[in-house]
C-alpha cells in the first residue's frame, strides 16, 4: 500500500520525496555543489514556513513576493529576475520555490528563463501544490487576466513534500487543495473516489495515506504524455470552466481560490459529461452532491461571460472548446464541445 512515510515517487527525470525533516533538503543540496542558493517565498510562507527551513540553509538569497493569484504576472517576474541578478545568481545557482502553486509556477518559470535556465526545486507548502501544481513541469504566469497564458514545460530537479506544512494552512486553503485530490480520484482512481466519500472534510483526511495515491494518478498520466498531446488533457477536468471562473473573478476584483473555482468547474463539467460523454445520471448526481457539500464557497459566474472567456482557451481547436469529461468515475477523455452548451442543471 502506498503511503507518505519514507516514500519516494520516482518520475522520469526527478523524484517526489516525502520527507519527515527539512534537513533532508540540506543533505540533497550538499550533494549538488551549487554556487548560490536562492529561496522564493510569498508573504505567508515567509511567516509560517521559512523559519522552519532557514536553519538548514547557509545564507541563501531570500526573495519575497506578495501573496495571491493577482500577482502571478510578468511584473512580479521582473522583480524576481532583478533580485536574482542583484543577488549574484549565476548559471550554477538553484532556486528553491517555497510556497503554493503561484510560487511554484512563477518561480519555476523565472528560473527557466533566467540566463536561459537555472535549476529549481519545488517545496510545495499547500495541499493544492503538493498534489498537483508541483508535478508535471507546467510553469507560467497569467497575462491580461488569462490563466497561465505565458509559460513553458520544464521539470524541477526535485520535489520535497513535508506534510507538516499543511498544519500552517487556513481551512479555506486546505479545502481549495482538496478539490485537486477529488479531481484526481474522479479521473483516474475509482477506489480512491469511494474512499473519499466518507471524508468530505479535508481537515480529517489521513494525508499519509491519501496524498500519495492522488499523486500517483497524475504521475501515470504525465509520464505517458509529458507535453499534453493527448492523454494528459484529462488532467484539465474541471479546469476549463474553472479557469474561466478564475479569470472572471480576477476581472471583477474578487477573491477566488483556484480550488474553489475548480470545484465549481467540476460541477459544470460533470453535467456536460452526462450530456456529451455518457456519464450515468446517478453518478452525476452523486458527484454533484458531494462537491456541493464539500465546497460551500464555490463562486458563481454568469454563463455568458464564462463561454466568452473559454473561447480564448489555449486548448481550443476550430472554434470548439476542448474539455476533459468523465465517461465513468475513474475514466475521462478529452471531448470538443460547442460554445453555449448548458453549464447549469
Q: What is the pLDDT of residue 340?
A: 75
Grid-cell match 520525496, residue found: 17
Q: How far apart are CA 84 and CA 86, in angstroms?
A: 6
Examine the pLDDT at 1 and tell me if it is beyond 50.
no
Work out whether the CA dihedral 256, 260, 266, 271 comes out positive or negative. negative
| Rounded average pLDDT over 239-259 | 92
Q: How many CA atoms lie within 13 A of 122 on its CB side?
A: 34
pLDDT in tens, 159-169: 999 999 999 99
Domains of the chain, residue spans: 8-168, 171-337
pLDDT in tens, 3-21: 555 589 998 889 999 999 9
Tell me the average pLDDT of the chain: 92
| Rounded average pLDDT over 67-76 | 94
Q: How far apart are CA 131 and CA 258, in angstroms?
A: 13
CATH number among 3.40.50.1970, 3.30.470.10, 3.10.20.30, 3.40.50.970, domain 8-168:
3.40.50.1970
Examine the pLDDT at 116 and tell me if it is beyond 60.
yes
Per-residue HEC secondary structure of the chain comes to CCCCCCCEEECCCCEEEECCCCHHHHHHHHCCCCCCEEEEEEHHHHHHCHHHHHHHCCCCEEEEECCCHHHCCHHHHHHHHHHHHHCCCCCCCEEEEEECHHHHHHHHHHHHHHHHCCEEEEEECCHHHHHHHCCCCEEEEEECCEEEEEEEECCCCEEEECHHHHHHCCHHHHHHHHHHHHHHHHHHCHHHHHHHCCCCCHHHCCHHHHHHHHHHHHHHHHHHCCCCCCHHHHHHCCHHHHHHHHHHHHHCCCCCCHHHHHHHHHHHHHHHHHHHCCCCHHHHHHHHHHHHHHCCCCCCCCHHHHHHHHCCCCCCECCEEEEEEEEECCEEEEEEECCCCCCCC
| Cell numbers given for 37 | 542558493
C-alpha distances out from residue 120 to 27, 96, 163, 267, Å: 16, 6, 20, 35
| Cell numbers given for 259 | 480550488
C-alpha distances out from residue 345 to 105, 225, 274, Å: 34, 33, 11
Q: What is the pLDDT of residue 313?
A: 78
Sorted by sequence, the CB contacts under 8 Å of residue 160 that are 6+ apart come out as 17, 19, 24, 25, 28, 121, 122, 123
The second-level CATH assignment, the architecture, of 171-337 is Up-down Bundle (1.20)
Q: How far apart are CA 186 and CA 141, in angstroms?
A: 27
pLDDT in tens, 74-100: 999 999 999 999 999 999 999 999 999
Percentage of residues of the chain with pLDDT beyond 70: 97
| Cell numbers given for 113 | 528563463
Amino acid at each position: 500500500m502506498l503511503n507518505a512515510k519514507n516514500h519516494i515517487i520516482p518520475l522520469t527525470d526527478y523524484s517526489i520525496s516525502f520527507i519527515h525533516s527539512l534537513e533532508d533538503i540540506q543533505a540533497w543540496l550538499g550533494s549538488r555543489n551549487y554556487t548560490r542558493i536562492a529561496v522564493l517565498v510569498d508573504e505567508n510562507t515567509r511567516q509560517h514556513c521559512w523559519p522552519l527551513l532557514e536553519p538548514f540553509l547557509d545564507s541563501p538569497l531570500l526573495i519575497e513576493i506578495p501573496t495571491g493569484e493577482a500577482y502571478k504576472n510578468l511584473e512580479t517576474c521582473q522583480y524576481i529576475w532583478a533580485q536574482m541578478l542583484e543577488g549574484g545568481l549565476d548559471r550554477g545557482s538553484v532556486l528553491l520555490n517555497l510556497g503554493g502553486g503561484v510560487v511554484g509556477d512563477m518561480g519555476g518559470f523565472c528560473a527557466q528563463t533566467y540566463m536561459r535556465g537555472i535549476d529549481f526545486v519545488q517545496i510545495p507548502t499547500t495541499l493544492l501544490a503538493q498534489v498537483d501544481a508541483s508535478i508535471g513541469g507546467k510553469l507560467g504566469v497569467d497575462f491580461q487576466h488569462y490563466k497561465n497564458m505565458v509559460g513553458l514545460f520544464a521539470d524541477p530537479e526535485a520535489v520535497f513534500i513535508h506534510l507538516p506544512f499543511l498544519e500552517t494552512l487556513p481551512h479555506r486553503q486546505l479545502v481549495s487543495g482538496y478539490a485537486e485530490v477529488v479531481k484526481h480520484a474522479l479521473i483516474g482512481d475509482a477506489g480512491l473516489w469511494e474512499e473519499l466519500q466518507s471524508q468530505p472534510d479535508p481537515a480529517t483526511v489521513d494525508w499519509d495515506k491519501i496524498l500519495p495515491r492522488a499523486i500517483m494518478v497524475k504521475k501515470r498520466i504525465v509520464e505517458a504524455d509529458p507535453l499534453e498531446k493527448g492523454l494528459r488533457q484529462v488532467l484539465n477536468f474541471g479546469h476549463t470552466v474553472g479557469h474561466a471562473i478564475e479569470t472572471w473573478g480576477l476581472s471583477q476584483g474578487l477573491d477566488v481560490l483556484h480550488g474553489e473555482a475548480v470545484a465549481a468547474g467540476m460541477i459544470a463539467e460533470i453535467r456536460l459529461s452526462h450530456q456529451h460523454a455518457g456519464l450515468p445520471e446517478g453518478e452525476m448526481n452523486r458527484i454533484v452532491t458531494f462537491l456541493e457539500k464539500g465546497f460551500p464557497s464555490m463562486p458563481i459566474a454568469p454563463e455568458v461571460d464564462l463561454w466568452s472567456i473559454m473561447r480564448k482557451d489555449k486548448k481550443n481547436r476550430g472554434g470548439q472548446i476542448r474539455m476533459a469529461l468523465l465517461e465513468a468515475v475513474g475514466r475521462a477523455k478529452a471531448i470538443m464541445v460547442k460554445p453555449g452548451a448548458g453549464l447549469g442543471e
